[in-house]
């Protein structure tokens, strides 16, 4: 088989090459001369980076030459980008960090808000990468439960970053089973289990508070993280529920900078609602390169995430372990079903609230096949504490042996799975 001829791209200063790569193709990218970065992380010269199922921008401040081998579904150079305004925002945030270091105060606590597909995660990566490039150690808080930049979709996470974010792997995918790219420390993950906060707003709010407590404690103990601050990536909800979550988040994490991406009305509302309490509200333009992702693309990204969690990436392959487990050694739990008390015994509206955080057992059955379950770190089932216990990792149910009352699971770690309580959310994955 002959390899396709590499295609050469010459970029002038402050240009970016935007490419989209399908899930069933692999594309190699090499920086030949000059300097370039992908979402804030600098590329090494003459290193081959491989991508599949991604939409990315290779940006250069001073000009560069890039070679692309393989077929991209979209490829073009853009000379109009909002990168200078993003860099200026970083410079202003860095000044706050310098002041925080001098006065032993807290660094900026930044929250990025906006609708879906405006580049919130990409901007989070850039601001974090720029901070890391200045030897800062910021914490990345990911409240977007639909995506799972750090671990699996369905989680609320916080990751103290100490190393550069990987160009190919992003924040890494097996974060809860091993330290991930960009982090020397395990991320903290709480399981929500639904794609949107609206699916169970009471649980979401509970977990958000719990995550904030843990992050605040960490900031108290870790001076480098405290002066570096946090970057909070949010879900794209900007309706009444979204506004409530934003308000709760500002309070819980003591947010002092809100960045509104690509939405005038949201910017006006955020200024009106929060500026008076001393929060700086900044408006930044959406990049013309940000791509809207349809349901099929999101589903494929989710599958890719799950696959990488168990099997790793082509750069760092993992071999998952297959283990047979007795039904009676585990308890599979689900949240938000059934009701503790009959509705008639509760004030109007309260019944749904109670059931939203009610934990119920799920009997193992064929229905569990192909489910991805979150393994809780809890040793005892105490409610509601178990809801707020962080995660040890994830397993995948590959077989159900109903007659023998056993199930076979894949996990990234060898041996018996030492934890008893497993959460069932809405994640399914058919191994290919």
Q: Which residue ranges make up the site for ligand ADP (CB under 6 A)?
A: 18, 55-57, 114, 116-122, 236, 287, 289-291, 293
Can you tell me the distance from the alpha carbon of 326 to that of 322, in angstroms, rounded to the nearest whole number?
Answer: 14
Cβ-closest position to ligand ADP: 289
Residue 39 C-beta: closest distance to ligand ADP, Å: 7
Output 218 or 293, the one with its CB closest to ligand ADP: 293
**Cβ distance to ligand ADP smaller for residue 122 or 355:** 122
Smallest distance from ligand ADP to CB 148, Å: 12
Q: What angle is formed at CA 53 by the lines to CA 52 and CA 59, rounded to 5 degrees?
A: 80
Give the CA dihedral 63, 65, 71, 74, nearest 10 degrees.
Answer: 10
Cβ neighbours of residue 323 under 8 Å, at least 6 residues apart? 408, 409, 411, 415, 416, 417
The answer to whether 122 is annotated as binding is yes
Return the number of the residue (149 or 177) whose C-beta is nearest ligand ADP.
149
With tokens 């960045």, the residue in question is: 259
Show Cβ contacts of residue 114 under 8 Å, excluding neighbours closer than 6 positions: 120, 236, 238, 260, 261, 262, 263, 266, 286
Which pair of tokens denotes residue 273? 């609602």
C-alpha separations of 238 from 90, 245, 266, 338 in Å = 24, 9, 7, 29
Sheet holding 280-284, edge to edge: 188-191, 155-160, 139-142, 230-233, 109-113, 257-261, 280-284
Sheet containing 371-376, strands listed edge to edge, beginning at the edge strand earlier in sequence: 321-326, 406-411, 391-401, 371-376, 421-428, 331-335, 359-362
119 is in an annotated binding site: yes
Expressed in angstroms, the distance from the first to the final Cα of the chain is 25
Query: Which tokens in the block code for residue 140?
Result: 């990345």
Nearer to ligand ADP, 133 or 293 (CB): 293
Shortest CB 165 distance to ligand ADP, Å: 13
Tell whether 55 is in a known binding site.
yes
Kindly state the smallest distance separating residue 52's Cβ from ligand ADP, in Å. 13
Least separation in angstroms between residue 287's CB and ligand ADP is: 4
**At closest approach, how far in Å is the CB of 301 from ligand ADP?**
8
Q: Degrees (nearest 5) of the Cα angle 78, 43, 305?
A: 85
DSSP 3-state percent helix, strand, coil across the chain (nearest 5): 30, 30, 40
CB of 331 to ligand ADP, least distance (A): 35
How many distinct helices (H) and strands (E) make up the chain?
A: 8, 23
Residue 255 in marked binding region:
no
Q: Which is nearer to ligand ADP, 36 or 330 (CB)?
A: 36
Query: Residue 117 annotated as binding?
Result: yes
Residues annotated in a binding site for ATP = 16, 55, 117-122
Residues annotated in a binding site = 16, 55, 117-122
């Amino acid at each position: 088989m002959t390899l396709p001829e590499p295609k050469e791209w010459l970029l002038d200063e402050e240009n970016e090459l935007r490419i989209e790569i399908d899930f069933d193709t692999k594309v190699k990218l090499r920086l030949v001369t000059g300097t370039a970065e992908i979402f804030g992380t600098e590329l090494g010269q003459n290193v081959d980076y491989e991508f599949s199922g991604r939409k990315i921008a290779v940006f250069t401040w001073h000009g560069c030459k890039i070679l692309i081998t393989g077929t991209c579904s979209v490829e073009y150079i853009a000379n109009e980008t909002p990168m200078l305004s993003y860099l200026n925002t970083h410079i202003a945030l860095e000044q706050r960090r310098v002041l925080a270091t001098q006065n032993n105060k807290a660094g900026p606590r930044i929250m990025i808000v906006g609708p879906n597909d405006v580049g919130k995660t990409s901007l989070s990566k850039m601001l974090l990468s720029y901070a890391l490039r200045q030897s800062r150690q910021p914490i990345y808080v990911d409240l977007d439960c639909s995506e799972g930049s750090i671990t699996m979709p369905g989680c609320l996470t916080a990751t103290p970053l100490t190393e550069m974010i990987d160009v190919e792997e992003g924040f890494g995918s097996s974060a809860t089973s091993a330290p991930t790219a960009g982090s020397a420390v395990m991320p903290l993950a709480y399981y929500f289990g639904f794609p949107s906060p609206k699916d169970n707003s009471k649980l979401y709010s509970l977990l958000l508070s719990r995550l904030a407590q843990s992050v605040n404690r960490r900031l108290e103990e870790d001076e480098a993280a405290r002066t570096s601050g946090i970057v909070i990536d949010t879900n794209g909800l900007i309706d009444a529920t979204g506004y409530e979550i934003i308000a709760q988040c500002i309070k819980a994490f003591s947010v002092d900078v809100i960045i509104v991406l690509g939405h005038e009305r949201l910017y006006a509302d955020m200024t009106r609602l929060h500026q008076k309490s001393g929060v700086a509200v900044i408006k930044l333009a959406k990049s013309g390169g940000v791509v809207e992702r349809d349901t099929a693309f999101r589903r494929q990204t989710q599958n890719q995430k799950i696959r990488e969690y168990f099997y790793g990436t082509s750069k760092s392959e993992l071999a998952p372990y297959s283990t047979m487990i007795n039904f009676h050694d585990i308890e599979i739990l689900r949240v938000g079903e059934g009701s503790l008390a009959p509705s008639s015994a509760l004030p109007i509206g309260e019944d749904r609230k109670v059931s939203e955080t009610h934990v119920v057992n799920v009997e193992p059955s064929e229905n569990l096949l192909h489910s991805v379950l979150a393994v809780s770190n809890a040793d005892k089932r105490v409610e509601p504490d178990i809801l707020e216990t962080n995660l040890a990792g994830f397993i995948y149910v590959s077989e159900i042996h109903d007659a023998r009352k056993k199930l076979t699971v894949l996990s990234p770690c060898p041996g018996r799975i030492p934890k008893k309580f497993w959460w069932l959310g809405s994640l399914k994955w058919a191994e290919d």
